[in-house]
């Protein structure tokens, strides 16, 4: 072997050793983050029992902390009710500990009544995050039946004249038929129903909604409106607004993250390159925005007027990170997306986590629910924790060269 080949072989060996060492370090770091999440969630379970004795009504899941620092629980009808059960399923998936399986089943069960609640579009958030993860991990036939019935209920909100699923029934004074970017997240339940039943009707509704949103929700720069108001009789666009963003022309941070996640998921389910390209465009808008902080934890709105003196939205960062991990498996820019997701997770884990034994058991701090309504500003939120755990799982699977789905 000549000297040139020897040097080349040595270089390759050193690079492989460096990669191996880095992977071991990342694996240990991810294990540590899951251990911290388990510790916090055990605390949360104890705090939930205390709070249930103090709150009136049938409350089942944690949502946030009050201004006085008390744990706020919600009933099953609340759009956030499925996230804590989903977090428990993720802890079980990562650990295979029967303790988390038992708790996941216990917190999932009360949500079954929501499968027939046709007054909301948030069926995916409530049922797919809970029963969907449960079915994926256990193949429980009862979970399957709940998912199918929930999808049937969600499908009743589809208007063929509009070609989309109605979002809110409230705010009727503002919109006759509102469709919000968040609603992209509920399409996963419909895709799942087609796989479970063989009935393509659910798939067709999901595709129609995704196409309509792609046509009308996005501006030329690939930022998204929050709410599009349609005429239910003919599908004409009547209004383009925000509800939780800074202004009608601004880019609400979590809305951008919903769009990124939603179109990445739609590409997975359909193979339609238009959805992949849209996800890539949304990612570029977010990652290249001049108001995106160096740690990639966005302000609550990319156009908020007092940046950098504006609240961050950790929930938007967690959703973005999870979506970027999946997008990295489909795109030619995969290595870039994965590196950016790693960066988000590192900063969330190092700078935005609750202290051990603090925040009543929430994992992450500094999310923003609705700044215009002065609601849930700079607080922990259950959906931030859910998507953070999902992102950690996806990171771990990629490190271990496992398929995400």
The label of the residue with tokens 């209920």 reads 153
Tokens of 394: 């996806």
- Give the integer Cα–Cα distance in Å for 382 and 51: 16
Q: Is 221 a catalytic residue?
A: no
Helix, strand, coil tally for the chain in percent (to 5): 60, 10, 30
Side-chain half-sphere exposure of 36, counting CA atoms within 13 A:
22
User: Beta strands 164-165 and 177-180: pairing type?
Assistant: unpaired
Q: Which residue in 77, 229, 250, 249 sits closest to 164, CA to CA?
A: 229
The label of the residue with tokens 């990612």 reads 283
Cβ distance 380 to 369 under 8 Å? no
Of the candidates 122, 313, 342, 385, the residue annotated as catalytic is 122
Of the candidates 140, 169, 182, 301, the residue annotated as catalytic is 182
Kindly provide the b/e burial profile for residues 147-182, where b requires at least 16 CB atoms within 10 angstroms of the residue's own CB.
bbbbbbbbbebbbeebbbbbbbeeeeeebebbbbbb
- Give the integer Cα–Cα distance in Å for 353 and 381: 12
- Give the integer Cα–Cα distance in Å for 229 and 165: 12
Q: How distant is the alpha carbon of residue 317 from its chain centre?
A: 10
Return the pLDDT at 18: 47
Q: How does pLDDT run along the chain (405 residues), one tens digit per residue?
A: 555 566 656 655 555 454 445 555 577 889 999 999 999 999 999 999 999 887 667 899 999 999 999 999 999 999 999 999 999 999 999 999 999 999 999 999 999 999 999 999 999 999 999 999 999 999 999 999 999 999 999 999 999 999 999 999 988 889 999 999 999 999 999 999 999 999 999 999 999 999 999 999 999 999 999 999 999 999 999 999 999 999 999 999 999 999 999 999 999 999 999 999 999 999 999 999 999 999 999 999 999 999 999 999 999 999 999 999 999 999 999 999 999 999 999 999 999 999 999 999 999 999 999 999 999 999 999 999 999 999 999 999 999 999 898
- Give the integer Cα–Cα distance in Å for 99 and 86: 15
CATH number of 26-399: 1.50.10.10
Return the pLDDT at 19: 46
- Give the integer Cα–Cα distance in Å for 226 and 252: 7
Tokens of 158: 């589809």
Return the pLDDT at 172: 83
Return the pLDDT at 344: 98
Q: Is 173 a catalytic residue?
A: no
Cβ distance 127 to 115 under 8 Å? yes
Return the pLDDT at 53: 80
User: Beta strands 375-379 and 158-159: pairing type?
Assistant: unpaired
Return the pLDDT at 8: 57
């Amino acid at each position: 072997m000549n000297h040139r080949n020897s040097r080349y072989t040595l270089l390759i060996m050193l690079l492989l050793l460096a990669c191996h060492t880095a992977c071991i370090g990342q694996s240990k770091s991810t294990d540590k983050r899951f251990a911290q999440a388990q510790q916090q969630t055990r605390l949360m379970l104890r705090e939930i029992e205390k709070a249930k004795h103090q709150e009136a009504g049938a409350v089942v899941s944690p949502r946030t902390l009050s201004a006085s620092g008390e744990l706020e629980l919600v009933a099953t009808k609340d759009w956030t009710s499925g996230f804590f059960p989903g977090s428990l399923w993720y802890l079980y998936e990562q650990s295979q500990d029967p303790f988390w399986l038992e708790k996941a089943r216990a917190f999932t069960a009360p949500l079954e009544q929501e499968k027939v609640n046709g007054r909301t579009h948030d069926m995916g958030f409530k049922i797919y995050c809970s029963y969907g993860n449960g079915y994926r991990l256990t193949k429980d036939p009862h979970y399957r039946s709940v998912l199918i019935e929930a999808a049937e209920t969600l499908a009743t909100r589809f208007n063929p004249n509009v070609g989309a699923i109605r979002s809110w029934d409230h705010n009727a004074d503002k919109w006759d038929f509102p469709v919000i970017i968040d609603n992209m997240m509920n399409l996963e339940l419909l895709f799942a129903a087609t796989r479970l039943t063989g009935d393509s009707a659910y798939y067709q509704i999901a595709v129609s909604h995704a196409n309509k949103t792609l046509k009308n929700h996005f501006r030329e720069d690939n930022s998204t409106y929050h709410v599009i108001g349609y005429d239910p009789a003919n599908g004409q666009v009547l209004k383009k607004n925000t509800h939780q963003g800074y202004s009608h022309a601004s880019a609400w941070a979590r809305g951008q993250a919903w769009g990124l996640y939603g179109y990445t998921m739609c590409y997975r389910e359909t193979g339609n390159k238009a959805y992949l390209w849209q996800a890539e465009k949304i990612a570029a808008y977010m990652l290249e925005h001049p108001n995106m902080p160096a740690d990639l934890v966005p302000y609550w709105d990319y156009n908020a007027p007092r940046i950098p003196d504006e609240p961050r939205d950790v929930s938007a960062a967690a959703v973005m990170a999870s979506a970027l991990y999946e997008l990295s498996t489909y795109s030619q820019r995969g290595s870039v997306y994965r590196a950016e997701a790693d960066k988000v997770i590192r900063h969330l884990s190092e700078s935005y986590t609750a202290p051990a034994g603090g925040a009543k058991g929430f994992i992450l701090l500094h999310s923003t629910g609705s700044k215009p309504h002065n609601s849930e500003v700079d607080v922990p939120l259950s959906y931030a924790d859910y998507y953070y755990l999902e992102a950690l799982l996806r990171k771990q699977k990629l490190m271990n060269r496992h398929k995400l789905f």
